[in-house]
Amino acid sequence: MLVGENIQRIHKEIGPEVSLVVVSKFRSISEIQSAYEAGQKIFAENRVQALLERRENLPADIQWHLIGHLQTNKVRAIAGFIDMIQSVDTLKLLAVINSEAAKVGRVIDCLLQIHVAEEETKFGFDKDEWIQLLKSGSLKNYPNVRLRGIMGMATHTDDQSKVAGEFQTLKKLFDEGKEILNSKDFDVLSMGMSGDYKLAVECGSTMVRVGSAVFEP
C-alpha cells in the first residue's frame, strides 16, 4: 500500500525522536483510513468543520491536531477532544482556549504559531512579540492550557538556504522559550512540511506536519 510505504519511509528519514503528524486536509475518508491502518495515529486538519466531520467517520483512537487559524467562536466545538492546537496566534485565542478547556475539565496542549516566513498573509506572533510575551510572564496565566512549544512555517521557495535560515530562527526562538519558561512541558518544535521536513529535522524540528508526501506517489 502506497500510503503505508510513504509513512514508513518518512519515519526512517526523520528518525524515532521526531513525531510525524499526517495532514489529512482535502483527503478522503478512505485515504485517511489507509494511513490509519498503516499505523498512523496523529492527524491534523486546518479547519474545524472538516475536522469534526472526519472525526465522526474515523476510528475513535485517532489524535487530532488543529493546524489552521482558529476563530474564538469555534473553540468550544473542539475543546472536549482536541489533542493539540498548533495554531494559537493571539493571546485572546489562548484565553478562550483556556476558559473553554476549564469548562470541560481539560488541560489542552497548545503551540504558539510564530511567523518567520516572508509571506505576509500568514498568521502568528512575530519574533519580537514572542520574546516580549516570554519576558512578560503572562504565559503562566492559563492553567487549562499546557504550552508545549511553538509551530512555524518557512517561506515557500526553492532557496534552501533561506528556508534553513528561517528554521534556524525558529529553533533559536524555541530554545529561548525553553530557557525563559523553564518548563519540562515545553518540548515541541513543530516545523517541516512535505517539501522541507528533512531540512527542518536537520535544524532541530521535533514534529513534522506532512500531507502531500504521504498521500501522493
Ligand X SMILES: *Cc1c(COP(=O)(O)O)cnc(C)c1O
Cα distance between residue 170 and residue 200, in whole Å: 10
Residues 205/191, Cβ–Cβ less than 8 Å: yes
**One of 169, 194, 198, 204 touching ligand X (CB under 6 A):** 194
Minimum CB–partner distance for residue 21 and ligand X (Å): 8
Residue with Cβ nearer ligand X (46 or 98): 46
Cα distance between residue 67 and residue 85, in whole Å: 7
The dihedral region occupied by 41, where left means phi > 0, alpha psi between -120 and 50, and beta the remainder, is alpha
Cβ neighbors of 9 (< 8 A, separation 6 or more) are none
Tell which positions 11-50 bind ligand X, by CB under 6 A.
23, 25, 46
Cα distance between residue 124 and residue 27, in whole Å: 26
Minimum CB–partner distance for residue 102 and ligand X (Å): 27
Tell which positions 100-139 bind ligand X, by CB under 6 A.
none
198 binds ligand X (CB under 6 A): no
Q: Residue holding cell 490509519?
A: 36
Minimum CB–partner distance for residue 103 and ligand X (Å): 27
Minimum CB–partner distance for residue 107 and ligand X (Å): 23
Pattern of binders to ligand X over 46-85, x per CB under 6 A?
A: x--------------------xx-----------------
How many residues bind to ligand X according to rule CB under 6 A?
A: 14
Burial label, 85 (beta-carbon count in 10 A; 0-12, 13-18, 19+): buried
209 binds ligand X (CB under 6 A): yes
Exposure string of 53-80, with b = 16+ CB inside 10 Å and e = fewer, is ebbeebeeebebbbbbbbeeebbeebbe
Task: Candidates 31-39, 94-102, 114-122, 192-200: pick the segment binding ligand X (CB under 6 A).
Answer: 192-200
163 binds ligand X (CB under 6 A): no
- Binding residues vs ligand X (CB under 6 A): 23, 25, 46, 67-68, 153, 193-195, 209-213
